[in-house]
Structure 1
Amino acid sequence: MLVDKTDGVIDLQKPEFYINRELSLLAFNKRVLAQARNEAVPLLERLNYLCISSSNLDEFYEVRVASLIQMADIDPKVLSQDGLTISAQLDAIAVDAHQLVAEQYQILNQVLIPELAKENIRFIRRNEWTVAQHRWLENYFNEELLPILTPVGLDSAHPFPRILNKSLNFIISLTGKDAFGRNRGKAILQAPRSLARIVQLPADESESGVHDFVFLSSIIHAFVGELFNGMTIKSCYQFRVTRNSDLFVDDDAIDDLLLAVQGELAMRNYGDEVRLEVDAHCPEETINYLLDRFDMNRDRLFLVDGPVNLGRMQGMIALVQRPDLKFSAFKPTIHNEMSAKKDIFLAIKKHDILLYHPFESFAPVVEFVRQAAIAPDVLAIKQTLYRTGADSPIVSALIKAARAGKEVTVVIELRARFDEKDNIGLAAKLQEAAVHVVYGVVGYKTHAKMCLVLKREGKELRNYVHLGTGNYHPKTALLYTDYGLFSCDKALGEDVRQVFAQLTSLGKVNKLNKLLQSPFTLHSGLLQKIDREINYARQGKPALIIIKVNAVVEEQVIQALYRASQAGVQVKMIVRGICCLKPGIPGVSDNIEVRSIIGRFLEHTRIYAFSNDGNWEVYASSADLMNRNLFQRVEICFPIENKKLHKRILHDLDLYLKDNTQAWLLQSDGSYNPIERIENEQPIQAQTLLLQELRV
């Protein structure tokens, strides 16, 4: 046990041993934004990274900042892990967020727009329109916009309107008399969400081979006078309000979760204001007027030099057919035992099968459910759905199975953030097909990714399972890295059956054979495995822990990893986003390395690997090391027992740990530095190598 000379035994709860969760999340967004500057990334993909950083910041304010503001009203004395008051956290967030936004617009205006122009992809400003372009845009305004737009002149009968969350709005100053002979001062114009935020000029209005675009805000600025006949426009400035968008469902006071979520959804667009974005050229008087209207201080005011919603620029990328400016196309490999022409159940019966998306196709997962739906000897299918996407082929297969008379049970999580509306519609669609639908457990989100197929084989009933680290969503399976395991292991199948029984009946589960499950055994199980490595290290044996997750927040796990480091255990961590653990603190975390990979694909796998005195244990999971995953959700963590498969995962992890191209190292002060290659060192890019390896 290490000793602090002044305090005795080192207190691992000291605030200085932790990184602030919110600032760590903003640091992740900075790493995403850094890709927009990265000249090794194709140009249109760089624009996409800029858009992603903007959308991420939106959600950060809608959820995390909104939560802090609410907490400040309830108990402002609450301290974060790193010892900050809520007020201090909000102050620090304001500094970092303003720096981030300033960099976003600097990159847009000074880097990306000029470089896009060199590639004949132009954003045409109002003062640059040709006569022909002006004529076309005026006609576009009169025919496409004018009939839809609804300006509101402000007076006692027309009060300041409710502003929709993250909508594009304009505050307009007017002079002259209205139709009723009264002087008007201000008006508000809201742009409906149905309108494209970027308009492409037709080919005959542009030079050959040139893609010309105009921002919707520029068109409205140019022709807004058409909406106010007889009055003069003094000024017109865009603004956007971000609101608290986290749903609140009182678990102790609801009788019907579906109705409760539906009720909250109706109010999501009109939650409390948490951020105001305004055109940087807007006069101080107008800014103060808006701040007063939204009862907001200047810390949450952002003056922007460009469109107020950078995320909407993603729509332009799809309009430009320039494959040379995008990531090269790839086709995920179909596992040779899992094609649509083969009996998937026969393949699984031979041995466990592991898929790594997006390098390997998600199609076998869909095919697994499809074959189960039509196989006459399949009696039942049970599935969890968290995010699935519109027109999901898996949902179609489940409906087909139910209509074929099979017992189909689906556990839908209604509170999957920002997918609540889609999941409510999905539930209704499944229920119409006579699928048994339950909404998980009140108070605990069902985040586990499981599919169980019960198949009669002679006199035996056999459980076939698919367990994953990511959602049953074919589109995100092309963008996110996730593992999926197929197995018909008897003990594992029985565990999955018991978890489904618990989700539907709410009864207690007998001791599970192989799965770790939150909120029951996952947290304690991981702590036990960390302690085992500590014991090996104290015996002088090699000890190694490798963890790959999206976030590390939970304090007891962090302290266990600190103790492991103190004992001499080597801890290698690959953490995409939030990390509250500080590596490299002398006497505390000297043996811990934390790296973050930012690449073409969003790193989404959760892997927990323990060297176990040479008998490696490898687990995959739907859970991150966060309080919510370990204590407030239904999650599973499943072993990869086939030696060939867990050796493959260890190989994959080794690639990430050797990546010297897309990796960032977390420093003990909480900052991240991109890894710099040693001179003449071979470049290693894990995602690219995996694409090449799994293509074979």
Structure 2
Amino acid sequence: MTALNVPSTSPLHTLKTYINRDLSLLEFHKRVLAQAKDTEYPLLERLNFLIIFSRNLDEFFEIRVASLIQQFELSSNNKTRPDNLFISEILATISKLAHEAVEQQYKILNYNILPQLQANGVNFIQHGDILQKHKAWIKDYFHHEVQPVVTPISLDPAHPFPRLANKSLNFIVTLEGNDAFGRKIDLAIVPAPRSLPRLVKLPTHVSGEAEHYILLSAIIQQHIHELFPGVTTTGCYQFRVTRNADLTVSEDVEDLAIALKGELSSRRFGRAVRLEVNKDCPEMITDYLLEQFDLDQDQLYLVNGPVNLARFISNFNLPELRFPPYVQKLPKALYGNKSIFEVLKTGDILLHHPFHSFAPVIKLLKEAARDPHVLAIKQTLYRSGVDSEIVQVLAEAARNGKEVTAVIELRARFDEESNIEVANLLQEAGAVVVYGIVGYKTHAKMILIVRREIDKIKRYVHLGTGNYHATNAKIYTDYGLLTSDADICEDVHKIFQELTGMGKTIKLEKLFHAPFTLHSQLLELIQQEIKNSKAGKKAQIIIKVNALTEPQLIHELYKASQAGVQIDLIVRSICCLRPQVAGLSDNIRVRSIVGRYLEHTRVYYFYNDGDSKLYCASADWMGRNLFSRIETCFPIENKKIRKQILEDGLNNYLKDNRRAWELQADGTWIQCQPSNGQAVYIAQQQLMNQIF
């Protein structure tokens, strides 16, 4: 299905006006990596940032680099739009920057984090660190835990190079001699069992008072010879291959769930896009591996340490090396054991996660599930597991006889399998489950509750900028609005009708929604600021999103800057707009906040000649959000709440001088630092200290 409302022509951009989105995303990952060497963070949190960087980079190669390689192979190195770069140029730059970042990553690990952890009584044993006192326990662990589940694979005409799963830890082993059948064996592959932890804690009687963790790779390498009796092992080298993990499902399928199940298995064995090998691996072996995976030298990453840092994590019992625990708060309106339905009759409630608890959202659903006056509950689910309390409450509501409708987005990347399980659970409980619109991901965050009250039907709504995921609500910043406003409730009702039924585009009173009205309304709001500025009036725009890539919106922001509109953009990751370019974007500043919590709120503010307009939304300013997804954008009409979001969610972040990074005209990012005599201001910390 072709996306609706896509502009027939895109504004003309060049590299001077549009930063390549993939290079911008890689710059964000580098900002995350920079947190790992920031000594103001607790030590284990720095290690966690290192792990987050690894996971981010994995997904970057699995999705973005894989897509570029596919385009390159299909289009013979065409230029991309709108940055007008050749695909080969983008891939070459990514390779250079990614190699530099990975080298820095392992330097931080080996020369900063591991030595400091050791000084705090936490030791990581790699193969070269094994001491005599460790060997007996390691041998016992290998024989009882590893050897029974490991499968060595010799490479010979009867055993060709195995099909290795995406991101799995493997070893290539060099051998000398003949096996039991008289065959001369030179090479073998040993996949590390995925069922075993990558970090194993040694018992106190072996390690002493300090905590010692040994890598699974070290245990396997120490006893690799036992897997090949009668043959001499001359080398053992870790490696890991990253594959294309994007899923493609035809829009002509009859059952999306069945089609996705068929595609999920292919994700593990897509085309190889990156090879990581321990740096001590001989060139002859790395060349052999590159040949097996059909990769070039620039796709090889020689690493000075474990090749699977994404799993380099354990439950360390060292709270002093973590962030101090933070107790989430409740809005004052919800103090005490009040019914949320009764509270909402007096006014709207704003939730600002993670500073506010996610508990009110769950409480709302629990009240609805158990209230005899509630007739129906409708909800969108983008990322939720079967163990989610929200899913369990929806199932309870269905079993209690409520009309429960769940719009589940099965194609939420890397959560497809979990979402299929959620759909099955809810269907078994008696809920109506739909998968949204084929060709359009349902990314909107909505709950609608229908309740009979005396002589009328009343509706209650929750709208959010983030997913219905209680764990994410502790680490992502998001806004949620609880309201019983009749017009907003009616708009949400209409969108659910749109998602579950068929018909023409529905006109909404207050909400903007993609792929129908959101893009055009945003353009109108920017254009109104341009008109006001040209008329000599104050004009201001503040936008907070996760990503800004849509060419026409960028073009319009440039026009607004040239008209004198003051524009502040708070963009967490990808920003294709170039700020501070003379004559183009002099009045645009772009900053990114990277801190303890993942910035995820989407807020749009327009001064509007003093009658300000402020919206929260599920959508970033990307083409996919505006034209290929179901998204909602809702106005904040309560003046007190609007002021609170403006101050806490926007101006507060514009004051940050420690966790903020500012985008330069050349595409580089510079971390903010307090000027001489200026106090440190950290936006997230201000919100944590604040009493809501």
Q: TM-score, normalised by structure 1?
A: 0.97
Identify which range, 373-382 or 333-342, moves more after superposition. 333-342
CA–CA separation in structure 2 for the residues paired with 1:78 and 1:263: 33
Give the 3-state SS of the residue equivalent to 1:276 in structure 2. Answer: strand
* 1:455 aligned residue (451, 455, 468): 451
Q: Which residue of 1 aligns with 2:4?
A: none
Give the 3-state SS of the residue equivalent to 1:267 in structure 2. Answer: helix
1:92–1:127 distance in 2 versus 1, CA, 3 Å: closer
- CA drift at 1:129: 2.8
- CA drift at 1:323: 1.3
Taking the TM superposition and a 5 Å limit, the aligned residue runs for 1:264-663 are 264-314=263-313, 316=314, 318=315, 320-338=316-334, 341-652=337-648, 653-663=650-660
CA–CA separation in structure 1 for the residues paired with 2:220 and 2:434: 47
CA–CA separation in structure 1 for the residues paired with 2:241 and 2:623: 30
- CA drift at 1:78: 3.5
Q: Which residue of 2 aligns with 1:113?
A: 114
- CA drift at 1:459: 1.5
Q: TM-score, normalised by structure 2?
A: 0.97
Sequence identity, in percent? 53
Code of the residue aligned with 1:216 in structure 2: it is L
Taking the TM superposition and a 5 Å limit, the aligned residue runs for 1:98-247 are 98-208=99-209, 210-247=210-247
CA–CA separation in structure 2 for the residues paired with 1:576 and 1:389: 26
Code of the residue aligned with 1:669 in structure 2: it is D
5+ residue gaps, structure 1, are 1-10
1:420–1:340 distance in 2 versus 1, CA, 3 Å: farther
Per-residue Cα deviation, 1:551-594 (whole angstroms, up to 9, x for no partner)? 00000000010000000000001000000000000011000000
CA–CA separation in structure 2 for the residues paired with 1:125 and 1:443: 48
* 2:670 aligned residue (666, 669, 673): 673
CA–CA separation in structure 1 for the residues paired with 2:477 and 2:372: 34
- CA drift at 1:203: 1.1
Code of the residue aligned with 1:321 in structure 2: it is N
Identify which range, 253-262 or 284-293, moves more after superposition. 253-262
CA–CA separation in structure 1 for the residues paired with 2:312 and 2:356: 30
- Mapped contact 1:518–1:635 kept (Cα < 8 A): yes
- CA drift at 1:110: 1.1
- Mapped contact 1:498–1:509 kept (Cα < 8 A): no
Code of the residue aligned with 2:457 in structure 1: it is L
CA–CA separation in structure 2 for the residues paired with 1:659 and 1:211: 37
- Mapped contact 1:172–1:236 kept (Cα < 8 A): yes
Per-residue Cα deviation, 1:629-666 (whole angstroms, up to 9, x for no partner)? 00000000001110000100011111100001100000
Q: Which residue of 2 aligns with 1:84?
A: 85
5+ residue gaps, structure 2, are 1-10
- CA drift at 1:369: 0.6
* 2:688 aligned residue (666, 669, 691): 691
Code of the residue aligned with 2:673 in structure 1: it is E
**Number of paired residues?**
680
Code of the residue aligned with 2:652 in structure 1: it is L
CA–CA separation in structure 2 for the residues paired with 1:458 and 1:512: 28
Code of the residue aligned with 1:187 in structure 2: it is A
1:84–1:340 distance in 2 versus 1, CA, 3 Å: farther
- CA drift at 1:189: 0.5
Give the 3-state SS of the residue equivalent to 2:575 in structure 1. Answer: coil
Give the 3-state SS of the residue equivalent to 1:423 in structure 2. Answer: helix
Give the 3-state SS of the residue equivalent to 1:548 in structure 2. Answer: strand
Give the 3-state SS of the residue equivalent to 1:676 in structure 2. Answer: coil
CA–CA separation in structure 1 for the residues paired with 2:625 and 2:173: 47
CA–CA separation in structure 2 for the residues paired with 1:460 and 1:509: 28
- Mapped contact 1:599–1:662 kept (Cα < 8 A): yes
- CA drift at 1:82: 1.9
- CA drift at 1:390: 4.1
CA–CA separation in structure 2 for the residues paired with 1:368 and 1:328: 29
- CA drift at 1:183: 1.2
- Mapped contact 1:516–1:636 kept (Cα < 8 A): yes
Q: Which residue of 2 aligns with 1:67?
A: 67
- CA drift at 1:142: 0.7
CA–CA separation in structure 2 for the residues paired with 1:554 and 1:16: 16
CA–CA separation in structure 1 for the residues paired with 2:265 and 2:672: 46
- Mapped contact 1:549–1:607 kept (Cα < 8 A): yes
- CA drift at 1:79: 1.9
Per-residue Cα deviation, 1:3-62 (whole angstroms, up to 9, x for no partner)? xxxxxxxx8623311111111111001110101010000000000000000100000000
Code of the residue aligned with 1:13 in structure 2: it is H
- Mapped contact 2:385–2:391 kept (Cα < 8 A): no
Give the 3-state SS of the residue equivalent to 1:388 in structure 2. Answer: coil
- Mapped contact 1:62–1:246 kept (Cα < 8 A): yes
- CA drift at 1:194: 1.1
Per-residue Cα deviation, 1:436-458 (whole angstroms, up to 9, x for no partner)? 00001000000000000011111
1:586–1:63 distance in 2 versus 1, CA, 3 Å: same
Code of the residue aligned with 1:162 in structure 2: it is R
Q: Which residue of 1 aligns with 2:43?
A: 43
CA–CA separation in structure 2 for the residues paired with 1:15 and 1:286: 40
CA–CA separation in structure 2 for the residues paired with 1:217 and 1:201: 15
CA–CA separation in structure 2 for the residues paired with 1:158 and 1:95: 36
CA–CA separation in structure 1 for the residues paired with 2:655 and 2:411: 38
Per-residue Cα deviation, 1:392-428 (whole angstroms, up to 9, x for no partner)? 1111111111111111100000000000000001100
- CA drift at 1:309: 1.1
CA–CA separation in structure 2 for the residues paired with 1:129 and 1:264: 42
Code of the residue aligned with 1:292 in structure 2: it is E
Per-residue Cα deviation, 1:190-225 (whole angstroms, up to 9, x for no partner)? 0121111111111111222x1111111111111011
Give the 3-state SS of the residue equivalent to 2:36 in structure 1. Answer: helix
Q: Which residue of 1 aligns with 2:250?
A: 250
CA–CA separation in structure 1 for the residues paired with 2:398 and 2:88: 53
CA–CA separation in structure 1 for the residues paired with 2:248 and 2:335: 44
Give the 3-state SS of the residue equivalent to 1:17 in structure 2. Answer: coil
Q: Which residue of 2 aligns with 1:4?
A: none
CA–CA separation in structure 2 for the residues paired with 1:338 and 1:274: 51
- Mapped contact 2:127–2:217 kept (Cα < 8 A): no
Give the 3-state SS of the residue equivalent to 1:196 in structure 2. Answer: coil
- Mapped contact 2:380–2:444 kept (Cα < 8 A): yes
CA–CA separation in structure 1 for the residues paired with 2:440 and 2:457: 31
Per-residue Cα deviation, 1:573-625 (whole angstroms, up to 9, x for no partner)? 10000000000000110000000001000000000000111111110000000
